[in-house]
Structure 1
Amino acid sequence: MKHMTPGLTEKKLYVYYDERYPYSWIPHNVAKHISKELEKYDFEVIDAPSLQRVLGEGSKDTNKEYVVVFAQDVVPDLVLDNPDNPTSNSLLRRFLNAGQIIVWMGDSPQYVGRADDNQKLNPPVMQNVLSMNPNYITTNKRISLTISGIVLSLPLWVGTKPHNKTPPHGVSGVSINPLAVAIDNVQYAHAFIISYKQSASGFVRIYDFPINKEELVTKQFIRGILGVATRDVTTPIWNKIEILSEEVNKIDEKFDTKFNTLKSEIDTFKTTINEILKLEKEILEVIQKKCENKE
């Protein structure tokens, strides 16, 4: 689907979902739900054969920006040169080398699947195809967003599988920009962009946790995908305005509370002053009477 941003390159937006292929952390019903949500923002839902076609087009057409969001977290065999032992000559990598964008969520891109087969292969996709460090740690802590992650409107989440953010040994020609790091070990990133051409394009990894319920696909969840996928100015501003609005409401509530407290204290002070003035008047009247009696 075409997506135009004034003054910028034409974007073609796609979301991959194919229930014939297996999954890891994102069940088919959730993947379908994510796809339906992204359709509202001009993403075209594509299956594995269509994905193969789109990646082929994107690897040759550098005049347009292609963005593919993977709603399923298993690589289909059709986009690899050898599913059992893929290489950097795979269609998936050629697409990325052309400066296009893939957004990946859920489990790491470590599994490969075939149509109508629940069995998942575990070849070296990460290091051989994506130049991604396969080393990770297991955790269950809230992530810490980097400046880049904040700018791209990513929300906070509890991460479970951050990867070492340095490229594998012997890999050159790629750069890694962390979007979210482990709060207690910044060497490991929960979200990042591996760039193969331009710094703003490449393999974008986000949401490293089991997305196994439709309720997890919130408004903020979708906005995070839109932020990294389209990188339009409107998406971050939209998010920041909502945050600012919430902060203003909090300030307004605090002001009302403080104003009511201050008003109550002023009323109490006025009552005290009036009582003092009344007492002072009574004292003056007593003194005046005593003076009159002496005379």
Structure 2
Amino acid sequence: MSASTITAPASRAPRGRGGAAQSVRDSLVVARRNLIRMSRIPEMIIFGLFQPIMFVVLFSYVFGGSMDVGGSTSPADYREFLMAGIFAQTVTFATAGAGAGIADDMHKGLIDRFRSLPMARGAVLTGRTLADLVQTALTVFVLAIVALLVGWRIHEGIAKALGAFALLLLLGYAFTWIGALIGLSVRTPEAATSGGLIWLFPVTFVSNAFVDTSNMTPWLRHIAEWNPFSATVQACRVLFGNPGVSTSSAWPMQHPVWASLLWSLVIIAVFRTLAVRKYRNAA
């Protein structure tokens, strides 16, 4: 008498059990794995610090004396105006690294091994994005020290400053999900790096990060004022008490803290859904 064996399709990964609690545990395990990996490759963190530091030095001392901030061309005023933009640019540029990391895991077959395990479907991506968030927070901390050394100051108290940093990290986490989707959609880490950067330059430069939007042509100014990136930069300037607070009548510029929060949550909801769906179908 022979027993028949039923084999599940290879393309269908076993589902994890335990609901939300299991999903949190799986995500933290994956995040820990990625943090250990990052700690063993310290040059990843060191090189990630060089670019924002160079932006601070170059923009502060090369362009600082020629920039008009609210009618002032003082280099000190421009340094304070600039830092909110540099902070926001730093957290968003982490997107490219996140996408490249996921694409590398895909290329090496690691994602396929994760998908074969009985774990929550979104845990791999959530864990990866949380690990990237920790690295981004470390980068922002070091960058804040550099900013203080070049003359940047906060004027609205530590509580509001912490709120500004929280909005920055939330924006960085939201954009990381865009990077995750890009990383799952391309074939190589190199393509993920290129794809992760090509859209970030217009997002960060067509904004209020480095110049006052009132100096832009009307159609470009409207784009910049409704840019999610601009909302976070504006919110940080308000919470830090730095110069350059916009007088625009656009809703995101009038209510930048709420606009920044809403934009980030919408981006997370949309791109996390798309990334998890892509992960389920990834080959």
Do they fold alike, i.e. is TM over 0.5?
no
Scaled by the length of structure 1, the TM-score of the pair is 0.21
- Which structure features the higher share of strand residues? 1
Q: Pick the structure with greater CA Rg.
A: 1
Structure with the greater relative contact order (CA < 8 A, sep ≥ 6): 1 or 2? 2
Scaled by the length of structure 2, the TM-score of the pair is 0.22
- Which structure features the higher share of helix residues? 2
